[in-house]
């Protein structure tokens, strides 16, 4: 063994820098010309959402460690938190350039195939007039302009929420203003009744921001978004036996919304005064400010393919098939009861046989109990409905619900409460451990004998992701 040295640095990779290399490979998938264009756009969106989460969790965690000094070091390379942050920010900057090149290429090719993601300065005069009318009638009434001055303190900007930031001039000098892009409005604003020519909502609001601040002169404007630390210590205070764990998680999620910023993104290069104002307000270093000519929020990529006329530009969907063991009427319960195993391979085979198994178990008089671990489930889960039905039918239903499934905490808290209210017994994992296993045990009693049906899986009990992710059940 050896202490921190050049040799150690040369043979070991830092976890965070290695992950950035992985995410860069995701981005390179957008350059594969044999892949349909909308799928290439999705790879850019996946890269972007991955990077967002990386900043929220890994950069957020390292930022906390950096405040504690050099005691927290990477045991592979010997770098402390501050050194890792510097290398991360240096490594991320080139990724923005690569993403810009990939996005520009995909957008140009989409336009050739009739799908146009337009900028406001690319509209015809009649289209611009129509957009102005739309803005005045349907968007402006939903906007709440905010002024930042001595009497109006800088407001809290929610994590990853899009805002229009403006610099304003008045007789007594300059000041700044903000407009929140309404989350309840559709991001894609279509032109001329077309299903494949559109501008983004934030670009539309940016263009007509002067109308929202009509008593001032807008001298500079930009689209901005702040990324906040989302890494919370879920173990804090859990040694208190009287604590309500579910309420504890709710409180942590409220705290997450107000954690410190770790990154500021701007859609366009800004003046030094403009950049410094917002950088200082968010208490960020200049290396934490990124210019993103690619739309800051690319989630709209997933809704384009649902529009008419774009079907040829996406991957052909191959629906999962039902395995031969899953008979349409009897399901797999008789096969399992006879001691024969069943292997389901997602997404090539359907999750339906397992869902039918739980449904049958909920109605089967011989079933005594159903016990299951849940990590991530669908918002409208058929599985959860069957568990509730089983509890209604007098069966013991025990659900180990992991509330710390990152960014699914709210959904899991709501399901835990609903399952408990409907008669299921809900328990939570032990302090210090996250329960990530996928296990289900059905206990039956036939002719005086106790029999078990056991399911072990690699994927979550989620009907949507079972049709997308490669897993075994």
Q: How far apart are CA 131 and CA 6, in angstroms?
A: 59
Q: CA–CA separation, 473 vs 467, rounded Å?
A: 13
Q: How far is CA 468 from the centre of its chain?
A: 16
Instruction: Write b or e for each residue in 384-405: b if 16 or more Cβ atoms lie within 10 A of its Cβ, otherwise e.
Output: bebbbbbbeeebebbbbbbbbb
Q: What is the DSSP letter of 327?
A: B
- Inter-residue contact 23 to 51 (CB < 8 Å): yes
Instruction: Sheet with 163-170: list strands edge to edge.
Output: 146-148, 173-180, 163-170, 217-228, 261-266, 289-291
* DSSP 8-state secondary structure symbol assigned to residue 386: H
What does the block give as tokens for 207?
A: 């263009």
HSE at residue 468, side-chain half, CA atoms within 13 A, is 7
Residues with catalytic function: 436
Q: Is 79 exposed, middle or buried (0-12, 13-18, 19+ CB in 10 A)?
A: buried
Using an 8 Å Cβ cutoff, are 205 and 164 in contact?
A: yes
Query: DSSP states of 347-368 as a string?
Result: TTB-SHHHHHHHHHHHH-TTEE
Q: Is the dihedral of CA 339, 327, 360, 370 positive or negative?
A: positive
Q: How far apart are CA 468 and CA 317, in angstroms?
A: 10
d(C-alpha 17, C-alpha 15), whole Å: 6
């Amino acid at each position: 063994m050896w202490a921190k040295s050049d040799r150690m640095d040369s043979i070991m990779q830092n976890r965070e820098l290695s992950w950035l290399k992985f995410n860069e490979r995701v981005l390179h998938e957008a350059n594969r010309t044999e892949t349909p264009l909308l799928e290439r756009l999705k790879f850019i969106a996946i890269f972007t959402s991955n990077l967002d989460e990386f900043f929220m969790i890994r950069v957020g965690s390292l930022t906390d460690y950096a405040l504690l000094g050099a005691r927290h070091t990477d045991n592979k390379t010997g770098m402390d938190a501050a050194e890792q942050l510097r290398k991360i920010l240096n490594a991320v900057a080139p990724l923005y350039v690569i993403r810009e090149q990939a996005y520009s290429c995909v957008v140009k090719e989409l336009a050739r195939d009739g799908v146009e993601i337009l900028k406001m300065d690319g509209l015809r005069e009649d289209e611009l007039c129509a957009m102005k009318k739309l803005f005045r009638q349907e968007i402006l009434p939903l906007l709440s302009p905010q002024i930042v001055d001595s009497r109006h303190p800088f407001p809290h900007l929610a994590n990853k929420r899009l805002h229009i930031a403006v610099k304003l001039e008045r007789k007594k000098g300059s000041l700044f203003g903000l407009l929140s892009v309404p989350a309840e409005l559709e991001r894609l604003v279509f032109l001329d009744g077309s299903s494949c020519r559109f501008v983004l909502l934030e670009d539309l609001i940016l263009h007509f921001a002067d109308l929202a601040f009509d008593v001032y002169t807008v001298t500079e404007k930009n689209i901005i978004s702040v990324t906040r630390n989302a890494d919370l210590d879920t173990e804090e205070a859990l040694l208190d036996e009287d604590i309500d764990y579910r309420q504890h998680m709710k409180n942590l999620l409220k705290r997450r919304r107000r954690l410190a910023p770790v990154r500021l993104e701007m859609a366009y290069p800004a003046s030094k005064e403009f950049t410094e104002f917002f950088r200082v307000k968010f208490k960020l270093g200049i290396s934490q400010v990124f210019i993103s000519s690619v739309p800051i929020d690319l989630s709209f990529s997933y809704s384009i393919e649902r529009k008419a006329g774009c079907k040829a530009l996406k991957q052909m969907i191959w629906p999962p098939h039902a395995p031969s063991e899953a008979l349409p009427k009897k399901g797999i319960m008789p096969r399992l009861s006879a001691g024969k195993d069943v292997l389901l391979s997602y997404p090539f085979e359907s999750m339906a046989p397992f869902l039918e198994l739980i449904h049958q178990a909920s109605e089967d008089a011989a079933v005594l109990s159903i016990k299951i671990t849940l990590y991530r489930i669908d918002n409208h889960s058929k599985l959860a409905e069957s568990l509730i039905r089983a509890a209604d039918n007098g069966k013991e239903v025990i659900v180990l619900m992991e509330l710390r499934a990152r960014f699914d905490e709210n959904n899991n808290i709501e399901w835990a409460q609903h399952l408990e209210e409907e008669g299921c017994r809900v328990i939570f994992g032990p302090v210090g451990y996250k329960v990530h296993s996928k296990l289900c045990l059905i206990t039956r009693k036939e002719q005086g004998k106790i029999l078990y049906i056991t399911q072990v899986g690699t994927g979550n009990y989620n009907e949507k992701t079972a049709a997308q992710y490669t897993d075994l059940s």
